[in-house]
Amino acid sequence: MARGNDEILGLTGLRAVLAWWVVLFHFGRHLVPTAIARGLAGAGYLAVDVFFVLSGYVLARRYLVVDLGARAARRAFWARRFARVYPLYVASLVVGIGASWPRSWSALTEPREQVALALQIAVLNGWSHVAMFARNWAAWSLSVEAFFYALLPLIFVRLRRLHVAGLAWVLVLSWAATFVAPAVYTAVDPDHLGRSLRLGDEVYWSWYLKFFPVQRLPELVAGAAAGLWRARRGAAPFGRNARAVAVVALVLAAAVLRVPYAYLQAGVLLPLAMIVIASLDGDPLRPATWLSHPWVTALGRASYATYILHVPVFLGFARLFPAAWESGRLVTAYMVVLLFLSVAAHRVLEEPGRRLLTRWLVRRHEHGTT
């Protein structure tokens, strides 16, 4: 959410935690000293699920009184979403190309790489394995968000017609829908594993289970329904005790319980994520948690930059310092570099780019141009 009266500080701080959890998962989980901490760090992929739920939730809260059924409102929404994510997204691709230069440039002479780049530029990288991993393997989630942005006006118009009971049913059905893809994958076993999918199994059909946008859509829909449900109910229904229980349960489920990995890829912990998110959506005049601290919220505002840049920045860092893949000190140095780069990119590129693109795109629509 943009800064101002509509910003929910606790949720902004939560974004910082989620982004750095993903960073730790990708590049630091093997360096964590204790078994419990390694288990928690190794569950960092769950942060992306929470991000999806959070995205739907925050957009529902922000566009609560906007009629997205109107053409002008839809165009303005799409323009603002594009301006919000695209400048840094393109920057991450450029950094990714630079991290493997000149090999990355010579690779673009191959038709497959040309297709991959075209899909990435169009933010369609999650739709094909050809483009899922090239240059920035964390960027697949942007194609999920883009898919949701395209559909949100249609979804939101229908969700707003529902009363609290109807929204509750949407939450239940969305959660049920998250079980479909992993259940089909496990039953059919298209990769012929002969066992349950595990973390580290990089096999063809598992990529579509994890990264294909369609089966991720229920998480975003559930988040939007939860945001509307929260608004209809008024005061937050979760007290401090419920919040603490939800956080502990989420940590235990991620680090201890033996939930099949295939099911963790699609939002099985979605109810817990929604409890945590809704419990942080309290009184904006009385922020109740450390997540609302100015330093944490500053990192939260830069969290998109942290997330979208962390892979290509590490690849570039590891090219300069090859031992970074195994050195705790170098990984720590990389994280410090990433922190400063994220804050700088947010202030110098993301925010100015968003403002310029928003003004240009919205003005074009207001004058009736295409």
Q: Identify the pLDDT of residue 159.
A: 92
Q: Identify the pLDDT of residue 239.
A: 46
Which tokens belong to 276?
């945590």
Which tokens belong to 316?
């570039």
Contacts of 25 (CB under 8 A, 6+ apart): 41, 42, 43, 44, 45, 47
Contacts of 6 (CB under 8 A, 6+ apart): 61, 62
pLDDT tens, residue by residue, 173-182? 998 899 999 9
Q: Identify the pLDDT of residue 258.
A: 66
pLDDT tens, residue by residue, 29-81? 888 887 777 878 888 888 999 999 999 999 998 888 888 888 888 888 999 99
Q: Identify the pLDDT of residue 230.
A: 82
Q: Identify the pLDDT of residue 241.
A: 52
Most confident residue range from 40-44, 251-255, 282-286, 304-308:
304-308
Mean pLDDT of all residues in the chain?
A: 85
Contacts of 109 (CB under 8 A, 6+ apart): none
H or E, element range at 252: helix 240-255
Q: Identify the pLDDT of residue 81.
A: 92
Burial 21-50 (b: 16+ CB within 10 A, else e): bbbbbbbbbebbeeeeebbbbbbbbbbbbb
- The angle, 0 to 180 degrees and rounded to 10, between the axes of the packed helices 303-320 and 71-99 is 10
Nearest to 323 by CA among 98, 3, 27, 41: 27
Model pTM greater than 0.85?
Answer: yes
Q: Report helix, strand or coil for 285.
A: coil
Q: Domains of the chain: which residue ranges?
A: 9-366
Cα–Cα–Cα angle for 307, 216, 2, rounded to 5 degrees:
45
Indicate the Cα dihedral angle 121, 122, 123, 124, nearest 10°.
-120
Q: Which residue has the higher pLDDT, 146 or 236?
A: 146
pLDDT tens, residue by residue, 7-24? 788 899 999 999 999 999
pLDDT tens, residue by residue, 186-239? 999 999 999 989 888 889 999 999 999 999 999 999 999 988 888 877 644 444
